[in-house]
Structure 1
Amino acid sequence: MLIPTARAVAVAWYVATADGHWTDRPITMIDEDAGQIVEGTVFHVEEMRQGHGMGTMTAYRVAEVRQIVRRFSGKYGQLLRKVLLVPVALADDVGDLRIDDLDVN
């Protein structure tokens, strides 16, 4: 993943594949460090793109955080924090389910 060298830090947010692995591309990037991100934290991602369900919220749990320091020529580098998210059902969402939705047999 390319980050312009003028940026000192970036956080890349990925949604895990169905088998829990990292995808090739993040769903979004943030230019500020988010050091408070720890595994198990729940985040709500709000869709802000027109034509993609604008305003919908999806809950995700942080499954893994990878912190990578990139070294370049000279004395400056970058911090890349990669965050792997997995979808979660919250109690509010589960309350809307019917018994047929919960029946696995």
Structure 2
Amino acid sequence: MKKLTEQEIEENIKDLQYWDLEEGMLVTSLDFKNFADAFAMMTRIAFEAEANNHHPDWSNVYNNLTIRLTTHDAGGLTDKDFYLARRIEDIINGD
């Protein structure tokens, strides 16, 4: 998988609602009503990540879920990261 150029990253991130670029990764931080809701979202995202064989770096503290996407094998962001970010946004938005 090819690492994206800065220009490709800038073009792709424009279409994302919840994501920022931090330290070369796509990052989002989401707050939920409670821990159970945060964990339920993690479970839904986990199934999507597994189906795409692309797994986020993430952390959960009570009602907060922080997700970081990068392609370690490529040494940066790839199309796989942006695809998964879009799928996660679909899940968040109930699509």
Task: State the TM-score, normalizing by the size of structure 2.
Answer: 0.28
Larger radius of gyration: 1
Of structures 1 and 2, the one with the larger relative CO (CA 8 A, separation 6+) is 2
Task: State the TM-score, normalizing by the size of structure 1.
Answer: 0.27
Larger proportion of strand = 1
